[in-house]
Amino acid sequence: AQSVTQLDSQVPVFEEAPVELRCNYSSSVSVYLFWYVQYPNQGLQLLLKYLSGSTLVESINGFEAEFNKSQTSFHLRKPSVHISDTAEYFCAVSSPFGIIFGKGTRLHILP
């Protein structure tokens, strides 16, 4: 069975500071990994995904995530956050058995 663990339910960070949102997964088969974002009062939307190839994937708004197979991690990072990044972020794993989400991490940007 697959599972996804997001270690932090909330992460406060000052504007323009770097941030890392942690995600670990467990799976006995090859997986695809995703980060979805839910902005306040909006639906979930894809931020970035890892399917194969380069282990570092980037989004159009400055986020990046690195697939680390040995550590079974897919942490999300941004070198400098903006107030507009305030949202809940969900890590997800897709395998032949389905798509499983973590419990989410709320990113609070402090002025």
Among 19, 100, 107, 109, binds another protein (CB under 8 A): 100
Single residue of 15, 22, 32, 66 touching another protein by CB under 8 A: 32
Backbone phi and psi for residue 105, each to the nearest 5 degrees, phi listed first: -130, 125
Contacts of 50 (CB under 8 A, 6+ apart): 32, 33, 34, 57, 65, 67, 74
46 or 56: whose CB is closer to another protein?
Answer: 46
Nearer to another protein, 54 or 111 (CB): 54
Closest to another protein by CB, 15 vs 86, is: 86
CB closer to another protein out of 43 and 111: 43
Burial 2-24 (b: 16+ CB within 10 A, else e): bebebeeeebebeeeeebebbbb
Pairing verdict, β 32-38 and 10-14:
unpaired
Binding site for another protein (CB under 8 A): 6, 9, 32, 34, 36, 42-46, 49-51, 90, 92, 94-104
